[in-house]
Amino acid sequence: MEKIASFMIDHTRMFPGVFVSRKDEVGNSIVTTFDLRMTKPNAEPVMNNAEMHAIEHLWATFLRNHSQYGSKIIYFGPMWCRTWFYLLLNWDYESKDIVPLLIELYTFMRDFIWEIPGQSARDCWNYLDMNLPMAKYLSNKYLNEVLLDIKPHNLYYPQ
């Protein structure tokens, strides 16, 4: 059996960043899959489930309500190696195209002070497993170390 494309990337040379993982034709449209690496693989601690869950709720709420991108969101969710997230958008994008959106999003998460949307027994199957302070910390780290001064190695997979 052949390895899938994402297992062909040399993770020892990866940095946190915003990467186009793949583009797929779906009907008359292109779906762009982004690989949003928040930590350096095998070099930094992985994210815990509680902060990933909080980020997922904040992401989903922010993105689905976004005036420009809300209708283009197909999927957002974690990769269970706990170092990054997937974002699938309906359109043909490059990594640099969504950096302004991600700056807006991660600033929103860093500054978030309210109750996490959907954090109740009625709205979420695992509502007690969320860590907003750590989600805010990781959002600030990604924002400052990657997004606000993004470099080519944060936008393209290593060759």
Tens of pLDDT, residue by residue over 113-152, are: 999 999 999 999 999 999 999 999 999 999 999 999 999 9
Determine what percent of the chain is predicted with pLDDT higher than 70.
Answer: 99
Helix (H, G, I), strand (E, B) or coil at 84: strand
Domain count, the chain: 1
In a domain, 63, yes or no: yes
Q: How far apart are CA 151 and CA 157, in angstroms?
A: 12
In a domain, 19, yes or no: yes
In a domain, 146, yes or no: yes
**4 pLDDT higher than 90:** no
Per the structure, the complete domain to which residue 42 belongs is given by 5-154
Which of 124-139 are b and which e, b meaning 16 or more Cβ less than 10 Å from the residue's Cβ?
A: beeeeebbbebbbebb
In a domain, 159, yes or no: no
**Could you tell me the maximum CA-CA distance found in the chain, to the nearest angstrom?**
48
In a domain, 141, yes or no: yes
Q: Residue 122 is part of a domain; what is its CATH number?
A: 3.30.1360.80
CA-based R_g, the chain, Å: 16
